[in-house]
Amino acid sequence: MSEKILITGNEAIAEAAIQAGARFYAGYPITPQNEIPAYMAKRMPEVGGVFIQSESELAAISMVMGAAACGFRALTSSSSPGISLKQEGISYIAGAELPAVIVNIMRAGPGLGNIWPAQSDYFQATKGGGHGDYHNIVLAPASVQEAFDLTQFAFELADKYRNPVMVLGDGLLGQMMEPILVPRSSFLVPREESKQSTKHEAQSTKTWALTGCKDRKPNLVASFRMREGDLEKLNQHLQEKYQEIEGKEQGFEALDIADANTIIVAYGTMARIAKGAIKTLRAKNIKVGLIRPITLWPFPKDIFDRVKGQGLRVKFLAVEMSYGQMVEDVRLAVGSEYMVEFLGRSGGGIPSEEEIAYSVERIADRKTKRYPLNAKR
Amino acid sequence: MPKITIDRERCKGCQLCVIYCPKGLIKPESRLNKKGIQPVMFLEGAAAKRRGAASGSNCTGCKFCALICPDGAVEVYR
Amino acid sequence: MDKIFTKPKSLRDIPTHYCPGCGHGVAHRLVCEVVDELDIREKVIGVTPIGCAVIAYDYWEFDCCEAAHGRALAVATGIKRMRPHNLVFTYQGDGDLAAIGTAETIHAANRGENLTVIFINNAVYGMTGGQMAPTTLLEQKTATTPLGRCAKLEGYPLKISELLSCLPGVYSIERVSTDSPAKVLSAKKAIKQAFINQMEGKGFSLVEILSACPTYLGLKPIDSVKWMAETMTKEFPLGKIK
């Protein structure tokens, strides 16, 4: 049984977290994700959880670290400049191998930039972002429904791998209202029941959690490894974990790629706009398809291998609301023998269906590699 | 009679106990410990007299030395 | 003959990495003595700082969590809110609590978080090599104030305890010292009270412990405690602040 509701992306993410059993939220206001803390302020007390408006993003992520260290599902949310601040704590959480979810509703940068939607945090989300050799698992929803579903999935992945997971959307997705299907029990989780589930969650299988060392040896949550060889051991362990994740968790959507001459690669909101362009182009008999990475890290390399395995003389067009970040992973995934063009705008502008269609047509018969591709403005 | 024991391998030779012993019964040892640090020692009986402690000075078990010791090297018996 | 003084059980039986005469050893022991006396070892969760005491958890026989530099009180907030029945304390140096973590400190205090804070003030940065701390005294020479701290350039020693005492969320603040056996005893009393406050749900309690760093004061241990008693306590007077 499920019900259909109309909800914004931000609120869908917040409710999904509650339903996934998250009982701790700390965050600092920043546009365009303010609906998340506001929703949590109202909702967390209803389910016996904790909401804290922290003094800064630095504090928020550290509070999440504390709650996660106790074995509870915990999250924070922010937007690009705030995520830059959270990188400190994310690195510690990755090093201490704690599960935590970080929601990033991206806006345009660099610096203060502005509050328009953008995808310019691809690097700081997927490449580590903070100091040290670590990765966040990064999930990129393209609709409000997916924002809801992937947020719940994020908690599962976080627990499974004891790793920070970032839900990466943009201002458009956060602010947009769409009808979604949610379990019927949503919004009605009774207080007592949720309290029990909280207890259960905290006790469950997280034997490493800080609970007080009753009837066991003391637990320690830390990333510090000073003794010779210890940090290398930790890092090798992390790398093995990342390899496992890369092998098992790649997520993507592929559309019309079987006969495509040109494949657009785009994620999140950008992919939805690309789908509009594909419709127009297909009507003109131009063979174009789409690969939409749903996990940005691990980047879904395997689907590119499959495309290459077909031996097609296919060209790729990476489209982003940034100036060429994901395109680097596309180039790495397809190798130098394939043409990878790029179309991107950020800072207020978003590549339109027309711009994408125009770019696809322009590269359709191009023989040599050449980029960047100047789109019609 | 009260007395103390000093773990000479644990002692880091800061000598805080030396200045706070009201009876002057703790003095630096002449031998170094395994870490190459000059630890302190507790003086009893004739040794105390030889090293200049006032005659009749005996340990009272006041624990000053143990309280000030940063390294938990002192145990006190009474 | 009875053993009337030995190490507390919560303090692991391993030598510390601290320099000779360092006050951390005494402060670590006092925390453990209090934990043992209140019989809370199985309930306590410590949050350790960045600084010389970063591996304090190696010496403590109870659950601990690391925090990024300055964020101990944010981490502790997350822990305490989710585990209100556990006893949560932070152990932080002056750089951690009063410089890089000032915001976390003030806001945890202002929220009246039911936490115990052990604040080690030794007027200098130890782990990084003797640089100026927020609590470095005027004219005190450090690696980054080679001519002595000058008010015009580096400002004044930050009295964070006095600052925090203005906040209505704060329940209790006391400044103690470890420069003599008698003061060590009163330091322990203050720490014990700060834990009892938390057990009774009274709110934010902080104990500022003046502590010696002979290495970076450039003094012998025996001279550094004299310096504390004669000079440092003039700037940081002992006693109950709130």
Nearest by CB: C26 against B2, B10, B70 = B70
Same domain, A28 and A132: yes
Rounded to the nearest integer, the mean pLDDT of chain C is 97
- In the structure, what pLDDT confidence band is assigned to residue A374 with cuts at 50, 70 and 90? very low
For residue A22, pLDDT over 70 is answered with yes
State the helix-helix crossing angle for A144-161 and A9-19, rounded to 10 degrees: 40
Q: Within the 182-221 window of chain C, which residues sit less than 8 Å (CB to CB) from chain A?
A: none
Asked if the structure places residue A282 within a domain, the reply is: yes
> In the structure encoding, which two tokens stand for residue A9, read together?
């992306």
- In the structure, what pLDDT confidence band is assigned to residue A370 with cuts at 50, 70 and 90? very low
What does the alpha-carbon distance between residue A70 and residue A73 come to, in Å, rounded to a whole number?
9
Average pLDDT in the A212-224 region?
96
- What is the ipTM, given to two decimal places? 0.97
Give the model's pLDDT for residue A348: 87
- Which chain B residue has the Cα nearest residue C33? B67
Where would I find the H helices in A162-295?
Answer: 171-175, 191-203, 230-248, 268-283
Asked if the structure places residue A216 within a domain, the reply is: no
Q: What angle do CA A84, C88, C52 make, to 5 degrees?
A: 65
- In the structure, what pLDDT confidence band is assigned to residue A188 with cuts at 50, 70 and 90? very low
Which of A284-288, A366-370, B42-46, C94-98 shows the lowest mean pLDDT across its residues? Answer: A366-370
Average pLDDT in the C201-212 region?
98
- In the structure, what pLDDT confidence band is assigned to residue A367 with cuts at 50, 70 and 90? low
* Residues C1-38: tens digit of each pLDDT: 899 999 999 999 999 999 999 999 999 999 999 999 99
* Residues C89-129: tens digit of each pLDDT: 999 999 999 999 999 999 999 999 999 999 999 999 999 99
DSSP summary character for residue A52: E
Say what the pTM is.
0.95
DSSP three-state, residue B6: strand
CB < 8 Å to A213, chain C: 41-42, 61-63
DSSP summary character for residue C18: P
**Chains that contact C by 3+ CB pairs under 8 Å?**
A, B
What percent of chain C clears pLDDT 70, i.e. is strictly above it?
100
- In the structure, what pLDDT confidence band is assigned to residue A313 with cuts at 50, 70 and 90? confident
Please give the residue that has the higher pLDDT: either B76 or A193: B76
Asked if the structure places residue A235 within a domain, the reply is: no
Same domain, A191 and A268: no
Where would I find the H helices in B1-78?
Answer: 16-20, 45-50, 64-68
For residue B58, what are the domain limits?
Answer: 3-77
Question: Cα distance from C212 to chain A (closest Cα, Å)?
Answer: 24
For residue B56, pLDDT over 90 is answered with no
For residue A278, pLDDT over 60 is answered with yes
Give the model's pLDDT for residue B46: 73
Average pLDDT in the A342-365 region?
93
- In the structure, what pLDDT confidence band is assigned to residue B1 with cuts at 50, 70 and 90? confident
Q: What is the bridge-based pairing of β-strands C63-66 and C44-48?
A: parallel
DSSP of C124-166, one letter per residue?
B-TTTTSPBPTTPPTT--BTTBTT---HHHH-PPP-HHHHHTT
- In the structure, what pLDDT confidence band is assigned to residue A193 with cuts at 50, 70 and 90? very low
Question: Cα distance from C109 to chain B (closest Cα, Å)?
Answer: 30
For residue A192, pLDDT over 50 is answered with no
Average pLDDT in the C179-186 region?
98
For residue A189, pLDDT over 70 is answered with no
For residue A195, pLDDT over 60 is answered with no
How buried is residue C85: exposed, middle or buried, by Cβ count under 10 Å (0-12/13-18/19+)? Answer: exposed
Interchain proximity C6–B77, CB inside 8 Å: no
Interchain proximity A212–C45, CB inside 8 Å: yes
DSSP summary character for residue A208: T
What does the alpha-carbon distance between residue A107 and residue A346 come to, in Å, rounded to a whole number?
9
Question: Cα distance from C235 to chain A (closest Cα, Å)?
Answer: 30
Q: Within the 32-71 window of chain B, which residues sit less than 8 Å (CB to CB) from chain C?
A: 37, 61-71
Q: Structural domain tally of chain A?
A: 2
Closest CA to C8 of B64, B77, B67: B67
Give the model's pLDDT for residue A200: 43
Average pLDDT in the C119-148 region?
97
Same domain, A39 and A110: yes
Q: What angle do CA A110, A115, A116 make, to 5 degrees?
A: 95
Q: Does C63 contact A at CB distance below 8 Å? A: yes
Same domain, A285 and A172: no
For residue A268, what are the domain limits?
Answer: 253-364
Total residue length of chain B: 78
- Which chain A residue has the Cα nearest residue C54? A224
The class of domain C24-240 in CATH terms is alpha beta
Closest CA to A92 of A120, A117, A69: A69
Interchain proximity C222–B14, CB inside 8 Å: yes
User: What number of H helices and E strands is found in chain B?
Assistant: 3, 4
Return all residues near A123 (Cβ < 8 A) that are at least 6 apart: A129, A325
For residue A145, pLDDT over 70 is answered with yes
For residue A324, pLDDT over 50 is answered with yes
- In the structure, what pLDDT confidence band is assigned to residue A184 with cuts at 50, 70 and 90? low
Question: Cα distance from B55 to chain C (closest Cα, Å)?
Answer: 23
Interchain proximity B12–C19, CB inside 8 Å: yes
* C180: number of Cβ within 10 Å: 19
Give domain limits for chain C.
24-240
Q: Which one-letter amino acid corresponds to residue A334?
A: V
Q: What is the bridge-based pairing of β-strands C170-177 and C239-240?
A: antiparallel
Give the model's pLDDT for residue A312: 64
Interchain proximity C181–B63, CB inside 8 Å: yes
Average pLDDT in the A65-84 region?
97
Find the CATH number of the domain harbouring A66: 3.40.50.970
* Residues A53-65: tens digit of each pLDDT: 999 999 999 999 9
For residue A372, pLDDT over 80 is answered with no
Same domain, A52 and A150: yes
Give the model's pLDDT for residue A159: 96
* Residues C149-164: tens digit of each pLDDT: 999 999 999 999 999 9
- In the structure, what pLDDT confidence band is assigned to residue A201 with cuts at 50, 70 and 90? low
Q: Does A13 contact C at CB distance below 8 Å? A: no
Average pLDDT in the A229-255 region?
97
Asked if the structure places residue A285 within a domain, the reply is: yes
What percent of chain C clears pLDDT 90, i.e. is strictly above it?
100
Interchain proximity C78–A64, CB inside 8 Å: yes
> In the structure encoding, which two tokens stand for residue C225, read together?
């405690």
Same domain, A29 and A176: yes
Rounded to the nearest integer, the mean pLDDT of chain A is 92
DSSP summary character for residue B27: E
Nearest by CB: B15 against C19, C23, C221 = C221
DSSP three-state, residue A57: helix
Q: Does C18 contact B at CB distance below 8 Å? A: yes
Q: Does C81 contact B at CB distance below 8 Å? A: no
Average pLDDT in the C55-61 region?
97
Interchain proximity C2–B61, CB inside 8 Å: no
